[in-house]
Structure 1
């Protein structure tokens, strides 16, 4: 997914990224275990393929080992011809590794499906732009997402803080979308 800058190289290893993700995390097995994530994804993908909530979508990658299409639900914030995502559990996530091996992806978001090229964000200016866009956007579905990941009542401020933490501790990704223009 592109060259690694010193900033990206300084990121935590995948296991440490996952531990950082768990800090302050609600102990929900759907969001803190691989088996739970698979169950949640299996439930969400069919619904999100029909009508993805604003700010979310279905990312289709090609399996790096199998060559088969792999779909996963992601929080994807579109800004023009780019969509910003974060691999919450770091550079070891299957979708991240698949996109790294074959950056041609498809993103199904509200409004349609778009092809694009995914890559890890390594440029400091783009990292900051992505952080601002990813963390600064709050959509209605984010409230449910907050309840899945954290305890307490969600607020815009708490949701932004959760997304800031994910962006800081995870691995940010940008998809350069082919809009057909």
Structure 2
């Protein structure tokens, strides 16, 4: 399964994430940007720790990633350590361009790691 999701993510600019709403319990999906590093997908919430999907993941860590018709369910781990968050944000800058990240991500105080294995 891990190979299928790797293939699905190859060359893709965004993935669809599905999280469980902390108040409604409903499945909520959003397209988000991502980076791959080693055996994980890393996500940066657009409004950092204020993002609703990030708050949902903190309460119910199961997340589904999907791209090109392939989906993977995994447990998301919030990253709050400033050095690790900065490393992920730097990978976002390299993939999407520093000007895009600065314009679209006003707050980057957290990130999320989703293992693919």
Counterpart position of 2:16: 58
Aligned-pair RMSD on alpha carbons? 2.6
> What stretches of structure 1 move > 3 A for 4+ residues in a row?
164-168
CA-CA distance at 1:64 after TM superposition: 0.9
For the Cα contact (< 8 Å) 1:60–1:70, is it kept in 2?
A: yes
TM-score normalised by the chain length of structure 1: 0.51
Gaps of 5+ in 1: 1-50, 139-158
Counterpart position of 1:126: 84
Distance in 2 of aligned mates of 1:123 and 1:106: 24
The Cα offsets for residues 30-51 of structure 1, whole Å up to 9 and x where unpaired, read as xxxxxxxxxxxxxxxxxxxxx9
Larger Rg: 1
Gaps of 5+ in 2: 1-7
Number of positions where the alignment pairs a residue of Structure 1 with one of Structure 2: 109
- Between Structure 1 and Structure 2, the one with more helix by share is 1
Counterpart position of 1:161: 99
TM-score normalised by the chain length of structure 2: 0.73
Structure 2 residue corresponding to 1:104, chosen from 44, 51, 62: 62
The 3-state SS of whatever aligns with 1:137 is helix
